[in-house]
C-alpha cells in the first residue's frame, strides 16, 4: 500500500512538521511515539513497536511488535520525504501485507476501505473539515501556528484588559482560569502578585502556557493542568476569583461548567467571563467555520445561566474595547473591529 500527498514545504521543514503532528495525533489515540534512531512506540507504557530507520529529512520506518494472536511476521510502515516542485512529496508505504488471522484478500480489502480510505475520505468532507479547522484554530488549539498565535494573542489583549480592570486582582487573590490557551492572560494577571491555577483541554496549549509562565510555576505561584472544564481538578472553595475569555461559546454544557466554577470558588468569590454576541458572527473576530460552531448568548441568557449555577450578584457589561485596543497597540487599520460596544460581553458575577 502506498499513499502520497504534497506539502508546500521544503523536505527538512516537512519532516519536522509531519513528525510533530504525528506525535500529537498518535498521543490522542493512546500511542506514544518516541522519535529518533532508538525510538519506540508505546501503548500504556509498554513497547508495541520500534523505529528501524530515522534519517531526517528523507525517511522514517517503524515496525510493530506482532501480538500473540498474529503470525510472527514483520509489519512495517515507512514514511518517505522526496523533493518535489515547490515542496515535498510525502509517501506513506506499507510494504508488508496486513496479516489477518483467518482472513482472505476480501478481508484485507475491507480493512483498507474501513480503516484507511474511509477516514481519509471523511476528513475532507465539509462538516469534518470545518470541525477540524475550528478545533485546530480555536476550540482545541493545536500546532505551530496556534502555539505562536496564543502565546502572544494581540487581538485578545483588549479583552484581557477589560477583564483585569473589572477583576482588580490583589496579591491575596487565588485565581483560576478555565481555558487558559497559551497562557498570555495568566502572564498579565500574575503581575498583580496573586497566585493562580489554570486548565486547558489542549495539550499543546498547556505546554505553551507552561513555557511562557515557567518562572511563576517554578516559584510555586502557578499550576497548569490538562483537564475538562466540566470536571475541574481542584478542591471545593479553593479560589477567590475565576476567569474565562473567549471559551464560553464553545462549551457543550455551560451550566455544568458554571456549576464547577461555583464549586471551586470560596464564599464571596467572583467570576469575570468574556464572550461575544451574534453581532460578531462572520467578522474577523468569529469567522467561518468557527462562527457556525459557536453559541452566541444574549445578555439575559448569560445572566440566567449564572444565577441558576449559584451566583447571587450578576451583571452584564459592554466595555469600550476600542480604548483598550488602542492601549495595547492594535494596528490602526484594525481598530474599527473594536468599535461595536454591543458585540463584546463581560459577565460579572459573585457568590
87 part of a folded domain: yes
Mean pLDDT taken over the chain: 94
Backbone angles phi, psi at 221, to 5 degrees: -100, -5
Average confidence (pLDDT) over 204-208: 96
Average confidence (pLDDT) over 198-212: 96
Residue 40 in contact with residue 49, Cβ under 8 Å?
A: yes
Checking if the pLDDT of 101 tops 60, the result is no
Cis peptide bond prior to 289, omega within 30° of 0: yes
pLDDT of residue 138: 96
Residue 350 in contact with residue 241, Cβ under 8 Å?
A: no
Which residues, other chains included, contact 178 with Cβ-Cβ below 8 Å and sequence gap of 6+? 198, 199, 229, 232, 242, 243, 244, 247, 257, 261
139 part of a folded domain: no
Q: Which residue has the higher pLDDT, 55 or 69?
A: 55
Closest CA to 317 of 271, 282, 351: 271
- Domain containing 75 — which CATH number? 3.30.530.20
Q: Which domain holds residue 48?
A: 2-124
Same domain, 154 and 280: yes
Question: Distance between CA atoms of 273 and 258, rounded to whole angstroms?
Answer: 10
Element (H, E) at 102: none
- Domain containing 345 — which CATH number? 3.40.50.150
Same domain, 18 and 84: yes
Same domain, 110 and 153: no
Checking if the pLDDT of 318 tops 60, the result is yes
314 part of a folded domain: yes
SS (H, E, C) 250-316: HCCCHHHHHHHHHHHEEEEEEEEEEEECHHHECCCCECCCCHHHCCCCCHHHHHHHHHHHCCCEEEE
Alpha helix ranges (H) inside the chain: 11-28, 105-111, 118-123, 126-134, 144-151, 157-167, 184-189, 203-212, 214-218, 254-264, 299-309, 321-328
Q: Cα separations (Å) of 3 from 58, 78, 265, 284?
A: 16, 11, 52, 36
Average confidence (pLDDT) over 45-67: 93
Q: How many domains does the chain have?
A: 2
Output DSSP code: residue 114. Answer: I
Same domain, 34 and 119: yes
Question: Distance between CA atoms of 10 and 14, rounded to whole angstroms?
Answer: 6
Backbone angles phi, psi at 38, to 5 degrees: -105, 25
Confidence class of residue 100 from pLDDT cuts 50, 70 and 90?
low
Q: Cα separations (Å) of 304 from 262, 265, 271?
A: 14, 19, 14
Sheet holding 40-43, edge to edge: 2-7, 87-93, 75-84, 59-64, 46-55, 40-43, 31-33
287 part of a folded domain: yes
Question: Distance between CA atoms of 157 and 160, rounded to whole angstroms?
Answer: 5
pTM: 0.89
Question: Distance between CA atoms of 218 and 184, rounded to whole angstroms?
Answer: 17
Checking if the pLDDT of 317 tops 70, the result is yes
Count of beta carbons in the 10 Å neighbourhood of residue 29: 8
Which one of 109, 124, 139 terminates a domain? 124
Same domain, 66 and 29: yes
Same domain, 164 and 94: no
Confidence class of residue 217 from pLDDT cuts 50, 70 and 90?
very high
Average confidence (pLDDT) over 196-218: 97
User: Mind listing the pLDDT tens digit for each residue in 164-203?
Assistant: 999 999 999 999 999 999 999 999 999 999 999 999 999 9
233 part of a folded domain: yes
What proportion of the chain, given as a percentage, has pLDDT over 70? 97
Give 48: exposed, middle or buried? Use CB within 10 Å, 0-12, 13-18, 19+. middle
User: Mind listing the pLDDT tens digit for each residue in 225-264?
Assistant: 999 999 999 999 999 999 999 999 999 999 999 999 999 9
210 part of a folded domain: yes
Which one of 124, 157, 176 terminates a domain? 124
Residue 167 in contact with residue 270, Cβ under 8 Å?
A: yes
Same domain, 115 and 233: no
Amino acid at each position: 500500500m502506498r499513499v502520497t500527498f504534497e506539502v508546500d514545504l521544503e523536505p527538512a521543514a516537512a519532516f519536522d512538521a509531519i513528525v510533530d503532528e504525528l506525535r500529537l495525533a498518535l498521543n490522542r489515540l493512546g500511542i506514544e511515539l518516541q522519535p529518533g534512531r532508538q525510538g519506540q512506540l508505546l501503548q500504556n507504557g509498554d513497547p508495541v513497536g520500534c523505529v528501524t530507520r530515522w534519517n531526517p529529512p528523507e525517511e522514517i520506518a517503524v515496525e510493530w511488535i506482532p501480538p500473540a494472536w498474529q503470525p510472527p511476521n514483520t509489519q512495517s510502515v515507512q514514511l518517505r520525504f522526496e523533493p518535489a516542485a515547490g515542496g515535498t512529496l510525502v509517501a506513506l508505504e506499507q510494504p508488508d501485507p496486513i496479516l489477518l488471522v483467518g482472513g482472505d484478500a476480501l478481508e484485507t480489502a475491507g480493512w483498507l476501505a474501513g480503516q484507511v480510505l474511509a477516514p481519509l475520505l471523511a476528513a475532507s468532507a465539509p462538516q469534518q473539515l470545518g470541525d477540524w479547522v475550528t478545533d485546530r484554530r480555536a476550540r482545541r488549539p493545536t500546532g505551530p501556528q496556534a502555539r505562536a498565535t496564543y502565546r502572544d494573542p494581540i487581538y485578545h489583549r483588549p479583552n484581557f484588559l477589560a477583564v483585569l480592570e473589572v477583576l482588580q486582582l490583589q496579591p491575596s487573590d487565588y485565581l483560576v482560569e478555565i481555558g487558559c490557551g497559551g497562557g498570555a492572560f495568566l502572564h498579565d494577571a500574575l503581575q498583580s502578585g496573586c497566585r493562580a491555577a489554570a486548565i486547558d483541554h489542549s495539550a499543546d496549549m498547556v505546554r505553551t502556557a507552561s513555557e511562557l509562565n515557567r518562572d511563576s510555576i517554578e516559584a510555586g505561584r502557578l499550576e497548569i493542568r490538562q483537564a475538562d472544564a466540566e470536571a475541574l481538578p481542584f478542591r471545593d472553595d479553593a479560589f477567590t476569583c475565576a476567569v474565562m475569555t473567549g471559551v464560553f461559546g464553545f462549551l457543550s454544557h455551560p451550566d455544568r461548567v458554571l456549576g464547577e466554577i461555583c464549586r471551586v470558588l470560596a464564599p464571596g468569590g467572583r467570576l469575570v467571563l468574556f464572550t461575544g454576541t451574534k453581532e460578531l458572527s462572520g467578522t474577523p473576530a468569529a469567522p467561518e467555520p468557527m462562527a457556525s460552531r459557536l453559541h452566541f448568548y444574549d445578555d439575559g441568557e448569560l445572566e440566567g445561566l449564572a444565577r441558576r449555577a449559584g451566583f447571587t450578584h450578576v451583571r452584564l457589561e459592554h466595555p469600550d474595547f476600542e480604548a483598550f485596543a488602542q492601549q495595547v497597540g492594535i494596528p490602526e487599520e484594525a481598530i474599527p473591529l473594536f468599535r461595536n460596544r454591543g458585540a463584546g460581553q463581560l459577565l460579572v458575577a459573585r457568590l
